[in-house]
Chains A and B, each alone.
Chain A
Amino acid sequence: MRALSKILRIAGLTSIAALTACGGGGGGSASAPSSGGGSTTPPPPPTAANVLAVQVSPGPDSSTQGADINTLFTSVTVCVPGSTTQCQTIDNIQVDTGSYGLRLIASAVTLTLPVETIGAGDTLVECTEFADGYSWGSVVKADLQIAGETASSVPIQLIGSSGIPSAPNTCSGTGTAENTVAQFGANGLLGVGIFAQDCGPSCQTAGSASDAYSSYYACTASSCQPTGTGTLTAQVTNPVTLFATDNNGVIITLASVPTNGAASLTGTMTFGVDTQTNNKSGSQSIVALDPDDGEFSTAFNGQSLPDSVFDTGSNGYYFADSSITQCSGDYAGFYCPSSVLSLSAMVQGENETGAVVGTAYLVPFSVANAESLNTSEPSYIAFSNLAGVLPTTGNAALTGSFDWGLPFYYGRTVYTVFEGSTSSVGSGPYVAF
């Protein structure tokens, strides 16, 4: 998605335009840089049924929108339930450990998928709230094939679907519409985080009757009302949890990225943890996640940050540090130190009460100048040292969060074990690396 996104997209396009105006780029990419970037050592290509190829790539509309930065993509095959012929493989689907369930932009889907209904035949529609906008669309069912794994009649969201009323104020009032590929920055989103459902128990009974928040709506042809889903299984569901086997977690392995960045990056997402010979737990740092919210604790610069997350859907490390120079202009929101900073933080698990549990682990990371990263190699899209700003409020972060985004996954193998699942080394939900 637009990771640094649109910001860097615009910058990238500007750079290209500038080169064109100057009469060409002077030789392009005939030779690889001698050091510091451009090439990565890819892991072995996927060979097993439970291994999915993933890559950091520019995204679905990079020619017109500029490239996505630090955004992990894959392909998923979608079929009409029960059919082996009415199928479609859709690429440029973002891999996201920070959400739950598959969402597809309707314009990228050529199949007619059956709509989920609720109550007296109303259409079940979801308003997915992101910090930067909302996605509105029907819940439909599909059979999915992801690598060699399959799941049947999976509730997914068809974003921007037709035949339903436009988003009501309770949805559209939360921000900017992200209902098209151009708005969303991907053809879809594959949420493989620790939860099975994207809202959970609170959306079973919530809705207009209780005043409680629900992301789900019951829609007639003319109007929509917030609703509970009645059952958990009606909710948009992390498809990995519905696989017949290899359904207790995912393992993401990504190549490392040189200091100056890389033009592309490949990796794998392996399904299951300790279910096959190729997904064994090793000697790991295990961080328990609060089963209520998927969060853990980070200690950084004297801040205790209990709302921290591991999230492939974040395009950088995000934290508050008022001592680091922030970028301005098109790069506002990112850090722009004059030289690369070597920093570190401690991560530690949390239990269901929010109390820290387990061992605290030191995690080093680097922060480079975001503007320099982009302008020095405009074609690069993977950066291991890109960091963004969470507002500083007094002596603590506004959010109490340290967001370990996709750069954390570069050069690592990161295990995510789901809620209610176990591996040979522990009970989920946890992240290990």
Chain B
Amino acid sequence: MGAGMKSRSGVDRSLDRVWRTGLLTAALLLPGIASATLGQPEASVRTDATQLKGSVQASYQANYRVHEIQLPSGMALREFVSLDGNVFAIAWSGRSMPNLRQTLGQFFDQYVAAMQVRRGDHRHVQLELDNLVVQATGHMRGTYSGRAYLPAAVPAGVSLGDVN
């Protein structure tokens, strides 16, 4: 309950920020779930939306869009899309890890290879490669959260502080 509320409030905070900007112009519900795939076109959100029940909300900022996907597992996935239509960052929070193979897409194998030789404790990931940054934390029965982004693809004027 507590964590659920906090988790929701985390989402709410994120959306609140969007709402506060006054730039939120659309919200839509999709019947299927979507998946955000790093480095892929925005359309991947919809083409992947066939397997699980989930809801997607889209919000529009000045120089990027955010799709927030609520999964049945309680996971909130957010994908950040540049104005040219590519996913440049993903962020998540929930009670477990997201499927990074799906969300990191073509970068997953690189992530796994890097983690095999370079590792912190089991609770924290701070991986900074030239083309990929992954930051994660998580505790059993507690909160798992993190983000991954492509440094070279982050649009000009977007603060990484907004990727959460």
Give every chain B residue within 8 A of A198 (Cβ-Cβ): 140-141
Q: Which of A311, A391, A396 contacts B147 (CB 8 A)?
A: A391
Report B138 CB to chain A, min CB distance, Å.
4
Chain A interface size range: 35 or more
- A2-10, A256-264, A279-287: which lies at the interface: A2-10
- B24-32, B58-66, B122-130: which lies at the interface: B122-130
Known contacts A175-B100, A350-B2, A394-B162; is A1 also within 8 Å of B122 by CB? yes
Give every chain B residue within 8 A of A215 (Cβ-Cβ): 96
Give every chain A residue within 8 A of B96 (Cβ-Cβ): 129, 174, 213, 215
Task: Please tell me if A143 contacts chain B, counting CB pairs below 8 Å.
Answer: no
Report A56 CB to chain B, min CB distance, Å.
13
Known contacts A172-B101, A400-B10; is A352 also within 8 Å of B2 by CB? yes
Contact A313 B121 (CB under 8 A): yes
Report B119 CB to chain A, min CB distance, Å.
4
Contact A401 B97 (CB under 8 A): no
Cα separation A242 to B163 with both chains bound (whole Å): 43
Known contacts A98-B140, A294-B139; is A131 also within 8 Å of B122 by CB? yes
* Central interface residue in B98, B142, B147, by most chain A CB within 10 Å: B142
Contact B99 A353 (CB under 8 A): no
Chain B interface size range: 35 or more
Give every chain A residue within 8 A of B5 (Cβ-Cβ): 353-354
Give every chain A residue within 8 A of B99 (Cβ-Cβ): 169-170, 173-174
Q: Which of B53, B135, B142, B144 contacts A309 (CB 8 A)?
A: B142
In B106-124, the 8 Å CB interface with A consists of 108, 111-112, 115-124
Give every chain B residue within 8 A of A354 (Cβ-Cβ): 2-3, 5-6, 9
Contact B137 A183 (CB under 8 A): no
Task: Please tell me if A318 contacts chain B, counting CB pairs below 8 Å.
Answer: yes
Q: Which of B1, B53, B98, B118 contacts A211 (CB 8 A)?
A: B53
Give every chain A residue within 8 A of B112 (Cβ-Cβ): 175-176
Closest to B52 in A: A211
Q: Which of A10, A293, A311 contacts B141 (CB 8 A)?
A: A293
Q: Which of B97, B117, B162 contacts A175 (CB 8 A)?
A: B97
Contact B126 A388 (CB under 8 A): yes
Task: Please tell me if B161 contacts chain A, counting CB pairs below 8 Å.
Answer: yes
Cα separation A5 to B124 with both chains bound (whole Å): 11
**B interface residue numbers (CB < 8 A to A):** 1-6, 9-10, 13, 52-53, 72-75, 91, 93-102, 108, 111-112, 115-126, 128, 135-147, 159-164
- List 25 contacting pairs A-B, 8 Å CB cutoff, sorted by A: A129-B138, A129-B140, A130-B122, A131-B122, A131-B123, A131-B136, A131-B144, A132-B124, A169-B99, A174-B98, A174-B99, A178-B122, A199-B141, A210-B72, A211-B52, A213-B73, A215-B96, A295-B3, A314-B123, A318-B124, A332-B126, A353-B2, A353-B5, A390-B124, A399-B143
**A interface residue numbers (CB < 8 A to B):** 1-7, 10, 71, 98-100, 128-134, 169-170, 172-176, 178, 183, 185, 191, 193, 195, 198-200, 202, 210-213, 215, 290-295, 306-307, 309, 311, 313-315, 318, 330, 332-333, 350-354, 388-394, 396, 398-401, 403, 405
Q: Which 10 A-B pairs have the closest CB atoms?
A: A333-B126, A293-B3, A173-B101, A213-B73, A211-B72, A130-B122, A131-B138, A354-B2, A173-B99, A174-B97
